[in-house]
Amino acid sequence: MAIKGKAAKSSSGAAMSKYDVEVEARLQALEAAVKEISAKCDERATPAATVSTGDDHDKLVAVEEALNKVRGVLGV
């Protein structure tokens, strides 16, 4: 009489071999790593998206004023 082992079950209820269980564990680890890396990328991208355009406008006005002064000195 053979001793029967208990096979792991997939989410659909199908029996999984030892190899399938190992592959599933690796897949879950990879998916978790991708999720973590994606979150870090999103964190890095967020500050750039929230830069105030008012600051850029003020800088542009200052550059324009400086150019106008140079043009006045050069007589252009």
Task: Give the global pTM.
Answer: 0.47
DSSP code string of 16-49: E-HHHHHHHHHHHHHHHHHHHHHHHHHHHHHHHH
Q: pLDDT tens, 55-70?
A: 888 888 899 988 888 8
Q: Is 57 left (phi over 0), alpha (psi -120 to 50) or beta?
A: alpha
Check: CB of residue 8 under 8 Å from CB of residue 16: yes
**2 or 54, which is more confident?**
54
At residue 51, what is the residue type? V
Q: What residue segments make up the domains of the chain, in order of their start?
A: 9-74
